[in-house]
């Protein structure tokens, strides 16, 4: 073993991991940190990595790629895991794995190492991604090594190791929970959350906990806020609303232009996928939207409790569904919807780069070719409410749907008689058979 690329964040765990691997394998260590919008303090990270023992530190700016190539395709699919989880951590892992493997190949490294535990999903996600992208590269997972766990049975031993080896980290022996943040969400788990009866949304106890990206609904404004989303082939390309321009300026986002659709007076600010997510996160966050507390089924077999804040993603999910409701053919929608649990499981379980996910994505892309138009959303105290939708490609026909007289004569109500009779035919046959069974 001559060279190892280590997934590195600068925190206690990965700093100790980096130093331990260097001592264990006596080889060159290269640190890699992916910026997927976690907004951690990255200044000084390279110096910290080299001080800890790395020969170099790569910081990959993947924010735009993460939004464009991972978040957007997943939201086109309508993916949500077990009806609640927007897959924020799950979808970030293949993006990070790809960035890391790119460095592995560039450096001609022998192995890649990560600090995911042997009980979680991330070990699977990282390693399945590596297997698809670079099958010849060895993967080192110290938390699955007996000697590593024996040396570090707890956080206190890691802190002591860091002090002994002059590793520059700030850490305390006790944390109330663990966190993972990126552009799409922030997750919390472990610690106090391992008690599934504990109320993470209690405003008396947790106003300062679990509120990184969003406020509690009780603390949201008493006045509703509206935002409009512009869609093109299933992707949000622009935003309009009273608070949008100020947020674009605040985040120093570069608009790609403005557009006003025919028959509309609303000038949409066109943004990249990253820009859209940044603005929606702020809008949803200040209105207490996108908060989830759930117990989920991990791929490795156990149940795990997680608290999630996904303010922008939850708005995008609702708006996209509303856009589909008037532009997508019924049978296409039902077919795609039948595949949502499978698609979500593939993302959750780490099979993003698998051939089956590619096949499903091709179907999803085809299903989105008419999903274009505008959606208006109302945000109020944690609620995300549809407030209007329109499209030049809409399949909705008010003249046909009306309960009043149809001026177009496109729908003859008398035709429903035969439709019902034909659909009832097999039910009547089944009922007759059941009646025969009851006779002696």
Told to judge if 337 belongs to the known catalytic residues of this protein, a careful annotator would answer no
Residue with tokens 């609620």: 383
Spatial distance between the Cα atoms of 433 and 411, rounded to a whole number of angstroms: 35
Residue 432, phi-psi category: left (phi > 0), alpha (psi -120 to 50), beta (remainder): alpha
Q: Say which of 40, 61, 149, 178 is annotated catalytic.
A: 178
SS3 assignment, position 17: helix
Spatial distance between the Cα atoms of 95 and 140, rounded to a whole number of angstroms: 19
Told to judge if 329 belongs to the known catalytic residues of this protein, a careful annotator would answer no
Q: Say which of 93, 125, 336, 389 is annotated catalytic.
A: 93
Told to judge if 426 belongs to the known catalytic residues of this protein, a careful annotator would answer no
Told to judge if 43 belongs to the known catalytic residues of this protein, a careful annotator would answer no
Report which of 47, 78, 147 is spatially closest to residue 328, judged by C-alpha positions. 78
Q: Say which of 13, 35, 110, 180 is annotated catalytic.
A: 13
Residues 382-411 as b or e (16 or more Cβ within 10 Å = b): bebeeeebebeebeeeeeeeeeeeeeeeee
Spatial distance between the Cα atoms of 315 and 334, rounded to a whole number of angstroms: 22
Q: Say which of 122, 180, 291, 367 is annotated catalytic.
A: 122
- Where in the sequence numbering do the catalytic residues fall? 13, 93, 122, 178
């Amino acid at each position: 073993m001559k060279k190892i690329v280590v997934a590195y964040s600068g925190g206690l765990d990965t700093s100790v991991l980096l130093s331990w691997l260097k001592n264990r394998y006596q080889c060159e260590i290269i640190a890699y940190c992916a910026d997927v919008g976690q907004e951690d303090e990255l200044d000084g990270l390279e110096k910290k990595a080299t001080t800890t023992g790395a020969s170099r530190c790569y910081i990959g700016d993947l924010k735009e790629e993460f939004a464009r190539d991972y978040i957007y395709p997943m939201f086109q699919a309508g993916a949500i895991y077990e009806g609640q989880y927007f897959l924020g951590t799950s979808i970030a892992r293949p993006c990070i794995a790809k960035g890391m493997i790119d460095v592995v190949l560039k450096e001609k490294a022998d192995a890649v190492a990560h600090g995911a535990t042997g009980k979680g999903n991330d070990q699977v996600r990282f390693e399945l991604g590596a297997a698809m992208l670079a099958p010849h590269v060895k993967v080192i997972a110290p938390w699955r090594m007996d000697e590593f766990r024996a040396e570090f049975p707890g956080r206190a031993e890691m802190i002591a190791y860091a002090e002994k080896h002059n590793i520059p980290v700030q850490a305390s022996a006790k944390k109330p929970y663990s966190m993972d943040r990126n552009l799409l969400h922030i997750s919390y788990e472990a610690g106090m959350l391992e008690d599934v009866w504990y109320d993470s949304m209690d405003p008396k106890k947790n106003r300062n906990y679990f509120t990184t990206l969003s406020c509690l609904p009780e603390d949201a404004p008493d006045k509703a806020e509206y935002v409009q989303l512009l869609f093109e082939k299933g992707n949000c390309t622009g935003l309009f609303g009273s608070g949008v321009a100020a947020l674009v300026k605040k985040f120093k986002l570069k608009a790609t232009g403005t557009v006003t659709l025919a028959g509309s007076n609303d000038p949409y600010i066109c943004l990249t996928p990253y820009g859209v997510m940044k603005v929606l996160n702020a809008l949803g966050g200040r209105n207490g939207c996108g908060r989830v507390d759930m117990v989920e089924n991990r791929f490795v077999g156990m149940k795990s409790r997680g608290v999630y804040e996904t303010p922008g993603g939850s708005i995008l999910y609702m708006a996209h569904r509303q856009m589909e409701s008037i532009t997508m053919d019924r049978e296409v929608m039902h077919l795609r919807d039948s595949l949502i649990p499978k698609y979500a499981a593939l993302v959750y379980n780490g099979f993003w780069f698998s051939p089956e996910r590619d096949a499903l994505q091709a179907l999803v892309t085809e299903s989105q070719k008419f999903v274009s138009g505008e959606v208006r959303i109302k945000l109020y105290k944690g609620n995300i409410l549809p407030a209007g939708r329109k499209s030049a490609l809409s399949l909705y026909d008010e003249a046909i749907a009306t309960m009043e007289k149809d001026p177009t004569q496109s729908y003859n109500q008398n035709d429903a008689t035969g439709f019902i009779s034909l659909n009832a035919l097999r039910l009547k046959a089944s009922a007759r058979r059941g009646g025969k069974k009851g006779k002696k």
